[in-house]
Amino acid sequence: MKAVIYSRVSSTTDRQNTERQVADLTSYAKYKGYEVAKIYEEKISGAKKNNERPILVEALDFCKSENCDILLVSELSRLGRNAFEVLETVKQLVDEGINLYIQKEQFTLLDNEGKPSIFAPIMIATLSTCAQLERENIKFRLNSGRQLYIEKGGKLGRKEGSTKSTEQKAEEYRQVIKELKRGTSIRKTAKLCDVSVSTVQRVKAEFNL
């Protein structure tokens, strides 16, 4: 069977990485005897819509075009924390006959006949809704904490002078900009310039490339 690994973390900085997700899913694929056709790694908020997450879109398109059998993720929230977005992605997989394995719950979407199990819709809906509620609770607590901080006289935002100018960024990421202007893909640019995919995405958007 041909498998694709998709991993994601929310932080666009170096505080988080996808190394553990990739290692665990690679081990699972090896145990099951799957051929890992490609590994996708993305640093972007799970709250983003599917069409705003280029690596996820690329992974799904690859699964379809290359007739892959299964998509491996560490947990359902890697596909997003908006229940409707997750369900839409799962439906795409089902329509294409592509299986989905969720490591955290040890859950597989399709049965041996390539059809969703009787409990699959309930399981997916429950997990995606829980992930969305968790995110909304975190957001509420953060906003509440910020409001209390402001009421006590605190100030939010970067310290004056800590933000890099456009010129400084252009110099720092000149090689990234050069590759993007050449038409090099985001993933290949990240590899060539030894930076994260999210950094390339940010530079591409900021400099309108």
Which of 75, 109, 128 is the last residue before a domain boundary?
128
> What pLDDT, in 10s, does the model give residues 28-86?
999 999 999 999 999 887 667 878 888 999 999 999 999 999 999 998 888 877 777 88
110 and 8 belong to one structural domain: yes
| Distance (Å, whole) CA 165 – CA 191 | 25
Domain range for 121 is: 2-128
Q: Does the residue 151 lie in any domain?
A: no
pTM: 0.62
Give the confidence band of 89 by pLDDT, cuts at 50, 70, 90: confident
Task: Kindly state whether residue 49 falls inside one of the protein's structural domains.
Answer: yes
Asked if the structure places residue 29 within a domain, the reply is yes
Q: Is the domain of 114 the same as that of 187?
A: no
Q: What is the average per-residue pLDDT within 123-143?
A: 64
Q: Is it the case that residue 204 has pLDDT exceeding 70?
A: yes
Residues 91 and 176 reside in one and the same domain: no
Same structural domain for residues 99 and 11?
yes
Determine, yes or no, domain membership for 149: no
Residue 26's pLDDT band, with cuts at 50, 70 and 90, is very high
181 vs 46, higher pLDDT: 181
Q: Name the residue with higher pLDDT: 206 or 163.
A: 206
CATH number at residue 54: 3.40.50.1390
- Which residue from 4, 18, 7 is spatially nearest to 93, judged by alpha carbons? 4
What average pLDDT does the structure give for the chain? 82
- Per the structure, the count of domains in the chain is 2
Question: Mean pLDDT: which of 96-100, 120-124, 166-170 is highest?
Answer: 96-100
- pLDDT for residue 129: 67
Judged against a pLDDT cut of 60, whether residue 162 lies above it is answered with no
Report how far apart the first and last C-alpha atoms of the chain are (Å, whole number): 38
Same domain, 89 and 173: no
- Under the banding of pLDDT at 50, 70 and 90, the label for residue 103 is very high
Mean pLDDT of 160-189: 81
**Residue 118 included in any domain:** yes
Helix axis angle, 174-182 relative to 197-206, nearest 10°?
Answer: 80
Are both 7 and 96 inside the same structural domain?
A: yes
Which residues touch 188 (CB under 8 Å, ≥6 apart)? 179
The pLDDT value given to residue 21: 93
Same domain, yes or no: 28 and 113: yes
Domain boundary among 82, 102, 128: 128
